[in-house]
Chains A and B, each alone.
Chain A
């Protein structure tokens, strides 16, 4: 075997997609996008690179530490490689599609790049597919996006999907209502995120018991919102709790079998969200399958979902081997065309070989054509 040497080395967190995984990822993206299109979402395609200050404007600020930067030799301005696509889509809606009727439904798929992978996702480049609904405050939009994503995952064959719901601004509102100063509130929110009771007690002092009760109100969604309803919440937090409860009820009626959890005190990673947010998991699968929620863009209320293809592929059974058939050199072109139309991948041989089955096997085919008949290759 030829020695590969260092020429095959890629920078950390980057990899070549090979068959069949690369084909499988493309296929999964296509199916997700078709699902979104079926719900009336129109596809947009933002550029890979933008001006740094546009990418980081407003809610994008939180992504600054993740962004690769380069200098544009033409404009002499700093450019950023997108670390996420949601905010690009929001920018498109706010600028070039500002005159299009609301609510505006947009979808997208593409690669994103991050300076550093996370603990669970060491990849620096990965694929996202998502859908955003822009310019409506209706709870029906949150419902639509969650159900659409759950349905898309189920149709792909992801099993044991569960959706975790949160209200990222509830804990801050509660901290404020409890009179915690900024530093204590920050420590308390951090403790809530890590579900660290000891740190929460230390941060919140006498106010800890209410926040502890908020932390405890996590688990199966119906149970969690019921627990939340019993807490003495100040007005803005109480409204958020009611909204969450309303959504849980509507989701349950629409999808009785969907596994729903709620964790109203959680804040993590929802840097730009301003209302109900959600995370998709699958039992036994490392990491999140996707996440999304409410945010503000150019004064408009939006919600959306971003799915992470690497986690989704981990949650799916291994790619089905495609039906590949080896065709001998004398196979008529019309026959090959017919086979492709029937869904076969044809692999044309160029020279006559003594053992066509062996040749088919050597080229990774599952079948070969002999005397006009399709035959299984079988194992050697």
Chain B
């Protein structure tokens, strides 16, 4: 019944937090094959020191998709991604405390001085998070028209694409450099260990064991 050897796929996000995530992975006893750290490698799926455990490295938004559909059983995703999709099949049982940042609404500094948010009925916003943005503004009775961008949101107000953006901010330097100021914080963001719902229900002992190992790793960090 324990089915220890059933394949386990872990989906990890490419990019800035991967290094911190790998620290936790190693602490939890998972060491990927050498190609994982080779920047020249075109490989997408990696074996590990545990014969039944493999790692896939995908875009942060795709981590949630892989885990929601059960293609991966475990993953690491920010709550920005979880909020955007609101996947019903994902559990987020552990806050890993890494990748800390904020999801904010920002606009040009000169607009901020004359703007009165109470009078808004419609705003146009450039963002990677149309779902969160629409819900956030709808909750205060404002219709948000989202322009979906995949990066460099800060350019949009400068070039007249729209006046406001919703984006992740950690230090605030990028905003400042582009003449933008924060208007409000939508959410505090950290990375979470995520688990596929059916996997947790059908392989509870194994999954709880992994959650426990990552909890120890996160506490030790």
- The answer to whether A197 touches B202 (Cβ under 8 A) is no
- The answer to whether B88 touches A281 (Cβ under 8 A) is no
User: Given A197-B93, A198-B190, are A283 and B202 neighbors across the interface (CB < 8 Å)?
Assistant: yes
Residue A164 CB within 8 A of the other chain: yes
- The answer to whether B91 touches A261 (Cβ under 8 A) is no
Residue A287 CB within 8 A of the other chain: yes
Contact of B201 among A120, A162, A197, A269 (CB under 8 A): A162
List CB contacts (< 8 Å) of B76-109 with chain A.
79, 82, 87-95
Prevailing SS type, chain B contact patch = mixed
Additional 17 contacts, C-beta under 8 A, given A120-B68, A195-B195, A196-B192: A119-B68, A119-B87, A120-B88, A162-B201, A164-B201, A194-B92, A198-B192, A199-B79, A215-B93, A220-B204, A259-B202, A261-B202, A261-B204, A279-B201, A281-B202, A282-B202, A286-B70
- The answer to whether B88 touches A119 (Cβ under 8 A) is yes
**B: which residues have CB within 8 A of A?**
1, 3, 6, 68-70, 79, 82, 87-95, 190, 192, 195, 198, 200-205, 208
Prevailing SS type, chain A contact patch = loop
Residue A296 CB within 8 A of the other chain: no
Residue A268 CB within 8 A of the other chain: yes
Residues of chain B within 8 A of A195, CB atoms compared:
91-93, 195, 200
- Measured between alpha carbons, how far is A279 from B89 in the docked complex, in Å? 13
26 A-B pairs in the complex with CB atoms less than 8 angstroms apart: A120-B69, A120-B89, A162-B201, A194-B82, A194-B90, A194-B91, A194-B92, A196-B79, A196-B93, A197-B92, A197-B94, A198-B95, A198-B190, A198-B192, A199-B92, A218-B204, A220-B204, A259-B1, A261-B201, A261-B204, A268-B88, A279-B201, A283-B6, A286-B70, A286-B198, A287-B198
List CB contacts (< 8 Å) of A246-299 with chain B.
259, 261, 263, 268-269, 279, 281-288
Residue A76 CB within 8 A of the other chain: no
Residues of chain B within 8 A of A285, CB atoms compared:
198
Contact of B205 among A219, A269, A284, A288 (CB under 8 A): A219
Residue A95 CB within 8 A of the other chain: no
Q: Which residue of B lies closest to A269 (CB)?
A: B88
- Measured between alpha carbons, how far is A287 from B69 in the docked complex, in Å? 8
User: Given A197-B95, A198-B190, A259-B1, are A119 and B202 neighbors across the interface (CB < 8 Å)?
Assistant: no
Q: How far is the CB of B113 from the nearest CB of chain A, in Å?
A: 32
Residues of chain B within 8 A of A198, CB atoms compared:
79, 92, 95, 190, 192
Residues of chain A within 8 A of B3, CB atoms compared:
283
Listed residue (B3, B203, B204) with the most chain A CB atoms within 10 angstroms of its CB = B204
Residue A160 CB within 8 A of the other chain: yes
List CB contacts (< 8 Å) of A99-135 with chain B.
118-120
User: Given A197-B94, A219-B208, A283-B203, are A119 and B1 neighbors across the interface (CB < 8 Å)?
Assistant: no
Residues of chain B within 8 A of A220, CB atoms compared:
204-205
- Measured between alpha carbons, how far is A310 from B203 in the docked complex, in Å? 22
- Measured between alpha carbons, how far is A197 from B92 in the docked complex, in Å? 7
Listed residue (A120, A263, A268, A285) with the most chain B CB atoms within 10 angstroms of its CB = A120
Q: Which 10 A-B pairs have the closest CB atoms?
A: A195-B91, A283-B202, A198-B95, A219-B204, A195-B93, A196-B92, A286-B70, A164-B201, A162-B202, A281-B201
Residues of chain B within 8 A of A162, CB atoms compared:
201-202
- Measured between alpha carbons, how far is A8 from B208 in the docked complex, in Å? 47
Residues of chain B within 8 A of A194, CB atoms compared:
82, 90-92
Residues of chain B within 8 A of A164, CB atoms compared:
201
Residues of chain A within 8 A of B6, CB atoms compared:
283-284
Listed residue (B89, B195, B200, B202) with the most chain A CB atoms within 10 angstroms of its CB = B202
